[in-house]
A and B are shown apart, each in its own frame.
Chain A
Amino acid sequence: MPPQANTRARSVGANTSAPPAVATRPVAKQRMETDPSSTVFKLEDLSVYYGSFRAVRNVSMSIPQRQITAFIGPSGCGKTTMLRCLNRMNDLVEIARVEGRVLYHGVDLYDERVNPVEVRRRIGMVFQKPNPFPKSIYDNITFGPKVAGVKGNLDEIVERSLRRAALWDEVKDRLKDSAMGLSGGQQQRLCIARALAVDPEVILMDEPCSALDPIATGRIEDLMEEIKTDYTIVIVTHNMQQAARVSDMCAFFTAEVNDHSDTRTGILVEVDRTETMFSNPQDERTESYVTGRFG
């Protein structure tokens, strides 16, 4: 297959200087060797089981700091499952089990000494459908800091979080109003502000725009670009064009049908810088997906 022309999808931030290196893993191909001191997560041979069903298998990759990494691929191949491993939200499901390691700055997140509650204060999450609490806008934002033990005047935290989430101007005069009265797009930005209020290092986003209209989606994408200078973002998205627009790194997943049962297990096919993945993918499955031939 002739290599595709090297079209630049968009210009990237500062870290394009590292040379490509060929990884030799049979399943995932991460061409880009990231500088270890700027790696936030390192997944080593990670598999997730729900009971006896293996939802995702043998995922190994690195997620760099202060960039937007996107998990892409068709539905049902374990992208959300993978995302939820990064902040141990899978713990909430009784039958979920993890094999392999998730290293967060070198520390195994699933080490028995690690407290998942602490993990989630550093690795925040924004969900697919906006889920504000049925409280005031102000109380929604202050919930996280209060839980983390912050006392005293929280007004500053509220303003700061709402400004970062590009929502301040729209709600600054009605902070005491119920959050349920906001529009869908505003609610999702509120959820982002809520996640920012605890000052996490990482923000995980599970298809944050899928329940929103195109204009609201555009605003959130702009938001992601702005905050990535301070936060590491990992986003699961169905929307290929969104991944191409917004992310710096992409991880492409697909599902394999298992031999003896009718189930499908997710696998990681390829990990690379976004422009490379979209213009010159290594695996033909990746190429089929990004050119829209399937998925």
Chain B
Amino acid sequence: MVQGSAEPPVFDAESLQGARGRFRKEAAIRRVFFAAAATSIVVSVLIILSLLGETWTFVTQVDYSSLWTDGWFPRRGMYDVKTILVGSILVTVVAMFVAGPLGMGAAAYLSEYAKPRVRRTLKPILEILAGIPSVVLGFFALTWISPEIVQRLNSESSLFNLMAAGIGVGILTTPLVASIAEDAMRSVPHALREASYGMGARKVTTSTKVVIPAAVSGLVAAFIIGISRAIGETMVVAIAAGATGGSLFSLNLFEPGQTMTAAMASMAAGTDAVKGAGLTFQSLFFVGLLLFLITLLLNVSADRFVRRVRQKY
């Protein structure tokens, strides 16, 4: 036994507990971080609540005949949902006709054919394109795409038209599609390409018959996410497709038109309040909820495809 002031060390549960204060602080810190993570749930709940309240008012009070009229003129009490729904679909279709080939093509080139140096210069350019704000693309769609491309295709087209807006949205969506598609193709193991070359296949055969089929889940996810982005895009349409107060139902791409998103923006834009007869204010929320549900559905299904890719490898 050592003579001195210290007692022999005791090994029991209590002495191994450690300073209380230190661990209480630790628990508090953990709670703080949990709160931060929980805000994401709060946000989702708030989104749904804020949409549901006024939508309920709209759905219960609206005159159902006004949901099937000649057009979407919310300030006049005409709430023809199919006008703006069709507008959104048309713009999205045009956009995907642009973003699909351009995005997938660029991604396939960068993944399978580009030499490392080429890839290092071109990939950041794609990423820069991804950072361009949508208002800028809206302006570009109105001042360049519409006169140079659309009006050359169809000389009778008005300056404001859905086609130009669709092309603008397509350009906006291309980098997103390209980035996800490229990741999907690059994650195909090199061993599969070697197996294909080892049997005497050419590069084009290997790319089309081995790599792309192996990456197909990721490519589908890229496409769906592109669609989701295109449907949710507001500013390009708001600037380039022209309709402000409302629009008649139309399938003509070369005329002004309205999408769900731009309809919401035009209801809120202007001066201090969302003015209009009766349920204009509530219709804003109604369309918002519709849009939220559609993009939710698209994102969930895209997520399923992404998870399928991860499972395989």
- Give A contacts to B, CB under 8 Å: 87, 89, 92, 94, 117-122, 124-125, 127, 129, 131-135, 143-144, 147-148, 180, 191, 194-195, 198
Closest chain A residue to B203 by CB distance?
Answer: A117
**Judging by beta carbons under 8 Å apart, are B202 and A120 in contact?**
no
Partner of B197 from A92, A132, A194, A195 at Cβ < 8 Å: A92
Q: A135-B213, A143-B209 are in contact. Are A194 and B312 (CB under 8 A)?
A: no
Partner of B198 from A87, A94, A135 at Cβ < 8 Å: A87
Given contacts A120-B199, A129-B191, A198-B199, 18 further A-B contacts (CB under 8 A): A87-B198, A89-B198, A117-B201, A117-B202, A118-B200, A119-B200, A121-B200, A127-B194, A127-B198, A131-B191, A131-B192, A132-B195, A133-B196, A134-B214, A144-B199, A147-B199, A147-B205, A191-B195
Please classify the interface of chain B as helix (H, G, I), strand (E, B), loop, or mixed, using the class held by over half of its residues: helix
A50: min CB distance to chain B, Å? 15
**Judging by beta carbons under 8 Å apart, are B199 and A127 in contact?**
no
**Docked complex Cα distance between A117 and B115 (Å):** 20
Q: A133-B214, A134-B214 are in contact. Are A147 and B191 (CB under 8 A)?
A: no
- Give B contacts to A, CB under 8 Å: 115, 189, 191-192, 194-202, 205, 209-210, 213-214, 312
**Judging by beta carbons under 8 Å apart, are A195 and B201 in contact?**
no
Partner of A133 from B202, B205, B210 at Cβ < 8 Å: B210
- 15 intermolecular pairs with C-beta atoms under 8 Å apart: A87-B198, A94-B115, A120-B198, A121-B200, A122-B200, A131-B191, A132-B195, A134-B214, A134-B312, A135-B213, A143-B210, A147-B205, A147-B209, A191-B195, A198-B200
**Judging by beta carbons under 8 Å apart, are B196 and A124 in contact?**
no
**Docked complex Cα distance between A291 and B205 (Å):** 47
Chain A residues with CB below 8 A from B115, complex form: 94
B121: min CB distance to chain A, Å? 17
Chain A residues with CB below 8 A from B200, complex form: 117-122, 144, 147-148, 198
Chain A residues with CB below 8 A from B213, complex form: 134-135
Partner of B195 from A94, A127, A148 at Cβ < 8 Å: A127
Chain A residues with CB below 8 A from B202, complex form: 117, 147
**Judging by beta carbons under 8 Å apart, are A124 and B191 in contact?**
no
Chain B residues with CB below 8 A from A133, complex form: 192, 195-196, 210, 214
Chain B residues with CB below 8 A from A129, complex form: 191
**Docked complex Cα distance between A89 and B312 (Å):** 26
**Judging by beta carbons under 8 Å apart, are B199 and A195 in contact?**
yes
Chain B residues with CB below 8 A from A89, complex form: 194, 197-198
Chain B residues with CB below 8 A from A132, complex form: 195
Chain A residues with CB below 8 A from B194, complex form: 89, 92, 125, 127, 131
Closest chain A residue to B209 by CB distance?
Answer: A143
Chain B residues with CB below 8 A from A143, complex form: 196, 199, 201, 209-210
**Docked complex Cα distance between A195 and B199 (Å):** 7
Chain B residues with CB below 8 A from A120, complex form: 197-200
Closest chain A residue to B313 by CB distance?
Answer: A134
Chain B residues with CB below 8 A from A131, complex form: 189, 191-192, 194-195
Chain A residues with CB below 8 A from B197, complex form: 89, 92, 120
Chain A residues with CB below 8 A from B312, complex form: 134, 180
A83: min CB distance to chain B, Å? 11
Chain A residues with CB below 8 A from B192, complex form: 131, 133-134
**Docked complex Cα distance between A194 and B194 (Å):** 13
**Docked complex Cα distance between A119 and B202 (Å):** 12
B97: min CB distance to chain A, Å? 30
Q: Of B194, B200, B213, which is in contact with the most chain A CB atoms at under 10 Å from its CB?
A: B200
Q: A131-B189, A135-B213 are in contact. Are A147 and B198 (CB under 8 A)?
A: no
Chain B residues with CB below 8 A from A118, complex form: 200
**Judging by beta carbons under 8 Å apart, are A127 and B191 in contact?**
yes
Closest chain B residue to A148 by CB distance?
Answer: B200
B158: min CB distance to chain A, Å? 50
**Judging by beta carbons under 8 Å apart, are A124 and B195 in contact?**
no
Partner of A195 from B189, B191, B198, B205 at Cβ < 8 Å: B198
**Docked complex Cα distance between A134 and B205 (Å):** 16
Chain B residues with CB below 8 A from A134, complex form: 192, 213-214, 312
Chain B residues with CB below 8 A from A122, complex form: 200
